[in-house]
Structure 1
Amino acid sequence: RLLNAELALFEAVQERIAESDSLVRNLAAGDPRVRWVRTIPGFGRFFAVLVVHEIGTIRRFSTPEKLSAYAGLVPSVHASGGKVFHGRLTKQGNKWLRWAVVEAVRPAVTTDPDLRRYYERLRQRKGPNPAKVATARRLLLLAHRVLSQERPYRKPESVTMRPRPRTALMNPLPGIQSLACGLKEAPRIEG
């Protein structure tokens, strides 16, 4: 008797899963935005439908940073004495969007070598969780671009990561070329 009840429950759950899967398939097939998001590494049918429907219309977010804030993928900020400190995630925002994008990181880093390098570089410096969140923000940036431009994701043909200019090496006083520290001729700094 108990076994029959458990079997009936199992069959009801299986039936509900099939209905939900059919609904997700229909949503994915009928919406071009879902097709565009699915072209981003890491987003399958389910996550693409979830992301598109949680974002709604992309025009609500003028920048990817605003979309990241909506998803709660930005650090908390605390300022004291003129110093700004960045802390943990705010956890404010749309928890379903945040969950979907963070979960999409693993398949994204296993399929896309550029995202894998990005994730690994951050993981070595900051640890696995900050690397996962930063990569999730990168995926959300790609989703914003795809939805704003209304076209599928196209991987750049050549991605060159240029280092940021090192401000410490720049001459802070452009009028002064050197402090004569025993040098016969001061090196000329072009600014």
Structure 2
Amino acid sequence: RVLRELKRMTKEHESLGHLVKLLQTVPGIGFVTAVLLVTELVDMDRFKRLEDLASFVGLAPSVHQSDERSYSRGLTKRQHKELRSRLIESAWVAVRKDPVLTMKFGKLSQRMNKKKAIIRIAKKLLSRIRSVWQTQKPYVYGVIE
């Protein structure tokens, strides 16, 4: 019932429906994830840099600094729980569909744990989502030569 209502709302509001369809061109992003992105992020212009967006979602590293030393402690605890988990799930799908992301994941997996590698892919996917949103153009799959 809720899914039917969401589909009806996206049809009624043309700009919302257009953006949802654009985001669905990104590999791994389905209807529900696209609607979640649009409703939670609202306006992409409020994030000046990718790092600001990644921090909001929860894909930024937790850093502890003292004097001149800096320690990285994995992902930050501050997060948008639903968005972060959806993006990580989407990254697993995108790795199977997009050849460039598949290659990047393979290289990252050689030097680190696969769970850490998929976090990096999720951040790369977030960058691509941001690009599609800002340019208002459909996602184009990368080609490996």
TM-score with structure 1 setting the length: 0.68
Paired residues in the alignment total 141
Alpha-carbon distance in 2 for matches of 1:94, 1:147: 19
How far the C-alpha of 1:23 sits from its partner, in A, is 2.2
Larger helix fraction of residues = 2
Aligned partners of 1:55 and 1:97 also within 8 Å: no
Instruction: Provide the residue aligned with 1:24 in structure 2.
Output: 6
What is the identity percentage for the equivalent residue pairs of Structure 1 and Structure 2? 30
Separation in 1, partners of 2:133, 2:59: 19
Task: State the secondary structure of the residue aligned to 1:104.
Answer: helix
Match of residue 123, structure 1, among 93, 105, 109: 109
1:135 aligns with 2:91: no
**Structure ID, larger Rg:** 1
Tell me the C-alpha RMSD between the 2 structures: 1.8
Q: Which runs of 5+ in 1 are unaligned?
A: 1-18, 161-191
SS at match of 2:141: coil
TM-score, normalised to structure 2, is 0.87
**Aligned twin of 2:45:** 59
Q: For 2:57 and 2:91, locate their aligned partners in 1 and report how far apart those are by CA, in whole Å.
A: 15
For 2:141 and 2:112, how far apart are their aligned partners in 1?
26
Please report how far the alpha carbon of residue 20 of structure 1 lies from its aligned counterpart in structure 2 after TM superposition. Answer: 1.7
Instruction: Supply the AA of the counterpart residue of 1:57.
Output: D
Give how far 1:39 is off: 0.8
Q: Does the Cα contact within 8 Å between 1:42 and 1:106 map onto a contact in 2?
A: yes
- 1:36 to partner: Cα distance: 1.2
Secondary structure in 1 aligned to 2:72? strand
The residue type equivalent to 2:54 in the other structure is S
Change (3 A) 1:132 1:50: same
Deviation at 1:26, TM superposition (A): 2.7
Gap regions ≥5 residues in structure 2: none
Give distance in 2, aligned partners of 1:81 and 1:40.
42
Q: Distance in 2 between matches of 1:24 and 1:108?
A: 24
| 1:41 aligned to which of 24, 27, 41 | 27
Deviation at 1:151, TM superposition (A): 1.9
Higher relative contact order (CA 8 A, sep 6+): 2
Distance 1:90 1:148 in 2: 26
**Hey, what does 1:182 align to over in structure 2?**
none
Tell me which stretches of 4 or more aligned residues in structure 1 moved more than 6 Å: none
Cα displacement (A) at 1:126: 1.2
Q: CA deviation at 1:140?
A: 0.6
CA deviation profile, 1:3-41 (whole Å, cap 9, x unmatched): xxxxxxxxxxxxxxxx02212323454421111111111
Structure 2 Cα separation of the partners of residues 68 and 96 of structure 1: 14
Matched, 1:150 2:136: yes
